[in-house]
Structure 1
Amino acid sequence: MGRADARKAQKRASRPSGIRRFFSWKKLLGAFFGLVLLCMGAFVVLYLVIDIPEGNPDAEKQSNIFQYSDGSTMARTGTVNRELVDLAEVPKDVQRTFVAAENKSFYSDQGIDLKGTARGMLNTVTGKGKQGGSTITQQYVKNYYLTQDQTVSRKLKELVISLKVDQKKSKDDILAGYINTSYYGRGAWGIQAAAHAYYDKDASKLTVEEGAYLAALLQAPSQYDWANASDTGKRLVTARWNYVLDNMVDKHWLSASARQAMTKFPKPMQPKAAAGLEGQEGYLYTAAKAEVMKDLNLTDDQFEAGGYTITLNVDRKKQKQLEKSVKEQLTDHLDPKSKKADARVQAGAVSVDPKTGRVLAMYGGAGLSEHYVNNATRDDYQPASTFKPLILAAALENNAKTQNGSSIKASTIYDGTNKRPVVNDGQKVGFAPPNEDDRSYGPVTVQTAMNKSINSVFAQMGADVGMQQVMDTAEKLGMDKDDLKPYAAQTLGTMGASPMEMAGVYATLDNHGKEVTPQIVKSVTVKGEKVALPDAVGDQVISRGAADSVTSVLTGVVDDGTAKASVRDNPARDGQQVAGKTGTSDDNKSAWFTGYTPDLVTSVGLFGEGALKTSEAGAHVSMKGAGGLPRVDGGSFPARIWAQYTFNSSSSNSTFDLDTDMGAGVEPTTTAPVTPTQEPSTPSSPTQEPSTEPPSTTTSPTEEPTTEPPTDEPTEPTTDPTDTGDPTGGITLDPVDPQDNNGNGNGRN
């Protein structure tokens, strides 16, 4: 090889091969700078072609129209509640709370946050939701000049316009525009309306602490509204309130000593109802609005911008009948002005079509202007024994057996002894609930236990089924899974629930096990375009046999149980077939009747709540003595309201079409009563073979909630030794040691 050939070979060897022929650090660096220059050029073009647009006038905002199912108008809302104020009218320190909350560099920046905007654009492109990190100027531009749309083009416009606005307007003008155009919740647009909505004062009278709350509120107006915020919402807004004040100290706008003195969170007053929405229509409006916002995933800003026509499922005739029934069967018997017990009673009710899930009527309370919380949708009171049918449904659905291996059905015999310890696999699990008034019933069928609402039977049944299986069935039927913890005491209905929730659960039973989710909204149109809504009727969540067998058993509660006086013997019944269950919680803090015909499901709840302007305001309190009754139980006012409403809302006498292959309800047999005061003895282990249910499904004593178990309506003690379906019986009849009750109370109020 010659020198020339050697040089050529060396040159070829020094050349990059493979992917290195196309990429090198020089090429990559050049491409990067080229891209940067291209972006800069594109931005310059955008800056030149995009001008500051005309602001969005208030007149462009539309009303939201709410209609009854017949198309008649119920309410027209959405008119902008705003009163513009000059920045000078807002105390300087209150102005600064908004800067501390949203944009600490506001007074020194150029109106944009490139990092925050880039993050927002990336979130939009990748579908991760709203942007974060916008400056006050950018938020003002979005509120006043642009829309709430989350698109890349809108964000680019926001960036350019924000730069120009920052150059042409003073910081004070921008801040004034921002606090005057922002939405604070409660229908309040702008700081002046917000000051009145939350503190009933002009913006000029706001304190620093109050200003910090309003500034914190802008992040999530609905979630952070103290009047209806969850515990999580209250914790979050308190943390943000502290964050705002601490930022003011960091910026030297607030002294450390003044900050240390600000330890009390400035709780706002209760909301005032919008004009024209003070009564039941106010509750219907708030419930419908909440449902639409949830179903369509709307923000407060988007909904309050208007343009929605919302038709409710509410039947005006049924609505008036429900209101009339509450008045004639409850409020006409109360004198809240002179009797403390009467002032404590709150009523809520929901009526649902089980075939469609439509909410046909709803009663939320005395009126939105008098009681802001909607009693029909609140879920902070125990459903008590209205939960018992769900335990039976779980037993049937899971083919559960008693401790001796007998199948659980209406005819199965249990021990109804008062405070009988719950047994699982031959071992006591540390739970021995009292029956109502400490009554003992001895051997009874499941049918009698349901009719008389015997706590000891259903506590044992929960262990037989397995508490996790009970909770799973309750969730399938429509209860909120967050409240469904597998504690033994949950067999007594110690979780929270609303009349809306319980109406949905019983509607699913009435609908033969097909899931029913109550819907108050029938249809929604936005600027003439109809919007798709979720289906109210879903899949088969439990078998028809299980659901229909529970319905069959629940007819006994009406015909022979705790509801017979108010429902069975009601002269307006006229032969109508009815299923239902009463419930009364511990210390008489809640009382329920949830019942149904083949065509209508209605849940009525009464709740003991401390009256306004008293030391008990808002607290859960006993209803003892209300309406002249020693105890307000589910078979009294709730069942009477239910009966008058139901029997006057339908003229047809329909009958249940039941498939009871899992066991129909049975006739109860009454013999000599067991003396409630008899001396119990130490319990023995079951003599029959225990089931294979693992002990882990029943909660240990240390895991029990501290809530006292609910009580139920007083009934005459009975025994029912006849088992037409399983003569071997369900469980050994063991009286209980009075010292062995795990401190679960004595069932007295």
Structure 2
Amino acid sequence: MATACVENRYPVTLEEVSPWVINGFIATEDRTFYEHNGISLRGIARAALHDLRTGERHGASTITQQLAKGLFLVPDQTIQRKIQEAFIAMEIERQFEKNEILEMYLNQIYFGAGAHGIEAAARTYFNGSSAAELSLAQAAMLVRMVKNPSGFNPQNNYERCLIQRNVALQVMASEGYITPVQADEAMNTPLAVEIHRPEIEQEWTYFSEYIRKYLVNRYGWSAVYEQGLRVYTTLDPDMQIVAENALNSILAEKEPVWDPETGEFLSDSERLRHESSYAHWQALRDTVSGVPDYLQGALVALDPATGYVKAMVGGRDFQDSEFNRAVQARRQPGSSFKPFVFAEAIEQGWSPGSTILDQPVVVQMFPGSWRPRNYDHTFHGMVTLRTALARSFNVSAVRLGMAVGVEAVAARAMAMGLTSRIPIVHSLSLGSCMVNPLEMAQAYIPFATGGLARDAVAILRVEDRYGNVLEDNQTPSAGRRVLSETGAYLMNSLLQSVIREGTATGARWYWGGPYSGRRAGGKTGTTSDYADAWFVGFTPDLVASVWVGYDNHVVRMRLQNGRGQSGSSIALPVWNSFMRGVFEGVPADSTVSFPAPPPNSVETAIICTITGKLALETCGENTRQEEFWEGTAPQDYCTLHDYSAGTFLPDTTLPDFTEFDMNYTNHGEN
């Protein structure tokens, strides 16, 4: 997927190297390798004689001396350095076996084109081939390249490289390592070089940078960049592509259109008013300074059964901005935080059919006061928890948070998977904390698993250069229980209602539809004046968190017609597009379902959604079947619509702010 290195090197054992390579180096570089003690007097004499005859300098360094120079010395040509080289070589010979020295040498030497060591050279020059797969002709070419990696590079000096390869073949034949026939056959073979440089060709991404930072933090810089770690990740490449396409396509549809001919943005009432776009930045980024100011987003997808990260998009273009919004951004989650408030209430004994008052409330701040408002600027009287969450009523959420305790809500959210600091304030019920998309996806896992939380995991296994396992996450976590099975079931039911009848109906998620028959739940989120838009949703086998907004917190997501872009209008379409792409073509599987509640733990009743009591025929459209903890369903019938008793009240709401509102001191009502 990606390579992080100071030098492109893949350490291998001697058994993983073609015998042609080993024999070629011994024949051409050090024919008495297995006989000397680090320096070769015969080689020195032969080199001196050559120098006297030709007037040219001829190297006499053994393989061990070349290793000593490469590991410990600077490449100058002084007498002092040659003496140091000889002494170090002899010490290496005393410390290591011959084959160990040869193995270190083959992993150390430089072959040009950024390739350090024989394995990297094989992969670089022969399109990903391994050192074990090198043919005689290929091995001979690489053997001679160490003499002059730049001068004998086949890309720039094909004829010189061909001549030097054939010299190596002739020497191998004269030394008896190959027959003259084998030499002739190899010399008649073209070089057939196909350069492959993964460290340059691979595109660095938000996910690979996330992995790199984790590895450096855990194992250290040297281990990551110099010691050849092999890292196996949890990422699903196909799902990653779908995620990137979903985010980029939806956001591109929302941005204003820039006309390169006029250099201006076109007027379009259904597009964002902020004059910036990805296309505009790509055209101008080489002529401007600073960070990109176009609309951004992030998406994280997790497997709830394992916690494995299946997709991570930290922005629209890593080359433009390396800031990973999936893990580094700290943004308010808005109403997507509300499920933690409702989860705490459910665990305290509330049920989806329990009622909460959605009427004005004043929270004393000392100094000052805070008056939460609903998104639709109205109040709705007595509502069930299901209605309050599905329609994302703010006032009832604040009242519910006050009823169950803000401290308990914060503790519940942290237990479920939020890792950022959570302030203990009444506005927490509306998502006034700062979080990132990864932890939001992680914290929603219990809603899909029957109450079991799991930490997000991005790495399956880490091995050192010798194959020793340093980290192994291939056995998924059993999870930790953070919600009761019944509580998780009831919360799952509430969050399905958000998609079925609430703020996320735009997902068009229906049973047996284009999502392989899977049910889904989730929650939208929008922060003050459209600074942030969220949707966090899940199926039984996938949890995905989406955030959309501008990096500059001051810029708001408003269309040119003035309408704001909420979680349901800009983040939900990204999630929907991603889910459609993931499940496209997947056969419907009825076994993929959410966990059921324990036997005899949930009961149902047909209630009036205004009073929360058993419904009468006269309750009409306010009637629905609702779920309750076993033994907690209402026993009394609705009195509001009992016309025979003469108690009908035509209006159950209160004016905007009343004496009741101003004098409110209790911590909640139900």
- TM-score, normalising length from structure 1? 0.49
Task: Give the alignment of 1:540-619 within 5 angstroms.
Answer: 540-568=481-509, 572-573=514-515, 575-610=517-552, 619=553
Q: Is this contact kept in 2: 1:443–1:721, CA < 8 A?
A: no
Establish whether residue 465 from structure 1 lines up as the match of residue 386 from structure 2: no
Distance 1:734 1:593 in 2: 32
Residue among 199, 202, 209 paired with 1:286: 209
For residue 362 of structure 1, what is the amino acid of its counterpart?
M
Aligned to 1:639: 572
Establish whether residue 303 from structure 1 lines up as the match of residue 303 from structure 2: no
- CA distances 1:140-163 after superposition (whole Å, capped 9, x unpaired): xxxx979xxxxxxxxxxxxxxxxx
Shift in alpha-carbon separation, 1:505–1:668, aligned structure 2, 3 A: farther
Q: Is this contact kept in 2: 1:443–1:719, CA < 8 A?
A: no
Moved more, 299-308 or 364-373: 299-308
Q: Is this contact kept in 2: 1:513–1:542, CA < 8 A?
A: yes
- CA distances 1:509-561 after superposition (whole Å, capped 9, x unpaired): 21212121111212111112111246655321222222221111111000000
For residue 360 of structure 1, what is the amino acid of its counterpart?
K
Distance 2:546 2:461 in 1: 26
Shift in alpha-carbon separation, 1:594–1:567, aligned structure 2, 3 A: farther
Distance 1:625 1:529 in 2: 55
- CA distances 1:657-712 after superposition (whole Å, capped 9, x unpaired): 321766589999789xxxxxxxxxxxxxxxxxxxxxxxxxxxxxxxxxxxxxxxxx
**Cα displacement (A) at 1:370:** 0.7
Distance 2:394 2:579 in 1: 28
- CA distances 1:200-225 after superposition (whole Å, capped 9, x unpaired): xxxxxxxxxxxxxxxxxxxxxxxxxx
- CA distances 1:78-137 after superposition (whole Å, capped 9, x unpaired): 1259xxxxxxxxxxxxxxxxxxxxxxxxxxxxxxxxxxxxxxxxxxxxxxxxxxxxxxxx
Q: Is this contact kept in 2: 1:558–1:578, CA < 8 A?
A: yes
Residue among 424, 443, 451 paired with 2:390: 451
Instruction: Count how many residue pairs are aligned between Structure 1 and Structure 2.
Output: 407
Establish whether residue 315 from structure 1 lines up as the match of residue 242 from structure 2: no
- CA distances 1:275-299 after superposition (whole Å, capped 9, x unpaired): 5565xx42011111233344xx333
Q: Is this contact kept in 2: 1:556–1:665, CA < 8 A?
A: no
For residue 459 of structure 2, what is the amino acid of its counterpart?
V
Q: Secondary structure at the match of 2:441?
A: helix
Shift in alpha-carbon separation, 1:276–1:498, aligned structure 2, 3 A: farther
Q: Is this contact kept in 1: 2:449–2:595, CA < 8 A?
A: no
Distance 2:545 2:501 in 1: 20
Distance 2:356 2:653 in 1: 8
Q: Is this contact kept in 2: 1:329–1:640, CA < 8 A?
A: yes
Establish whether residue 659 from structure 1 lines up as the match of residue 605 from structure 2: no
For residue 319 of structure 2, what is the amino acid of its counterpart?
S
Shift in alpha-carbon separation, 1:505–1:720, aligned structure 2, 3 A: farther
**Cα displacement (A) at 1:336:** 6.5
Distance 1:557 1:620 in 2: 29
Establish whether residue 79 from structure 1 lines up as the match of residue 21 from structure 2: no
- CA distances 1:388-426 after superposition (whole Å, capped 9, x unpaired): 111111122233xxxxxxxx2110111123x43369xxx
**Cα displacement (A) at 1:318:** 1.0
Distance 2:344 2:397 in 1: 12
Q: Is this contact kept in 1: 2:247–2:574, CA < 8 A?
A: yes
Q: Secondary structure at the match of 2:3?
A: strand
Establish whether residue 490 from structure 1 lines up as the match of residue 428 from structure 2: yes
Aligned to 1:221: none
Higher RCO, Cα 8 Å, sep 6+: 1
Aligned to 2:300: 350
Establish whether residue 326 from structure 1 lines up as the match of residue 247 from structure 2: yes
Shift in alpha-carbon separation, 1:315–1:356, aligned structure 2, 3 A: same
Distance 2:375 2:387 in 1: 14
Distance 1:668 1:649 in 2: 38
**Cα displacement (A) at 1:478:** 0.6
- CA distances 1:602-634 after superposition (whole Å, capped 9, x unpaired): 111102223xxxxxxxx45311127x7822111
Q: Is this contact kept in 2: 1:448–1:668, CA < 8 A?
A: no
Q: Is this contact kept in 2: 1:483–1:496, CA < 8 A?
A: yes
Shift in alpha-carbon separation, 1:629–1:561, aligned structure 2, 3 A: farther
- CA distances 1:168-204 after superposition (whole Å, capped 9, x unpaired): xxxxxxxxxxxxxxxxxxxxxxxxxxxxxxxxxxxxx
Shift in alpha-carbon separation, 1:670–1:569, aligned structure 2, 3 A: farther
Establish whether residue 437 from structure 1 lines up as the match of residue 360 from structure 2: no
For residue 737 of structure 1, what is the amino acid of its counterpart?
F
Task: Give the alignment of 1:9-158 within 5 angstroms.
Answer: 74-80=1-7
Q: Secondary structure at the match of 1:580?
A: strand
Shift in alpha-carbon separation, 1:360–1:741, aligned structure 2, 3 A: farther
**Cα displacement (A) at 1:580:** 0.8
Q: Is this contact kept in 1: 2:239–2:310, CA < 8 A?
A: yes
- CA distances 1:553-580 after superposition (whole Å, capped 9, x unpaired): 1110000001112333696346431111
Shift in alpha-carbon separation, 1:512–1:298, aligned structure 2, 3 A: same
**Cα displacement (A) at 1:304:** 2.8
Please provide the CA RMSD for this pair. 3.7
For residue 356 of structure 1, what is the amino acid of its counterpart?
T
**Cα displacement (A) at 1:305:** 2.8
Distance 1:541 1:450 in 2: 20
For residue 238 of structure 2, what is the amino acid of its counterpart?
K
For residue 288 of structure 1, what is the amino acid of its counterpart?
I
- CA distances 1:351-401 after superposition (whole Å, capped 9, x unpaired): 1110011111111112211122112113411111111111111122233xx
Q: Is this contact kept in 1: 2:379–2:653, CA < 8 A?
A: no
Aligned to 1:396: 346
Shift in alpha-carbon separation, 1:489–1:641, aligned structure 2, 3 A: same
**Cα displacement (A) at 1:438:** 1.2
Shift in alpha-carbon separation, 1:80–1:664, aligned structure 2, 3 A: farther
Distance 1:283 1:302 in 2: 21
Task: Give the alignment of 1:112-261 within 5 angstroms.
Answer: none
Distance 1:415 1:386 in 2: 20
Establish whether residue 504 from structure 1 lines up as the match of residue 442 from structure 2: yes
Q: Secondary structure at the match of 2:312?
A: strand
For residue 566 of structure 2, what is the amino acid of its counterpart?
D
Residue among 653, 657, 660 paired with 1:737: 657
Q: Is this contact kept in 1: 2:358–2:380, CA < 8 A?
A: yes
**Cα displacement (A) at 1:444:** 0.9
Task: Give the alignment of 1:526-537 within 5 angstroms.
Answer: 526-527=464-465, 528-533=467-472, 536-537=477-478
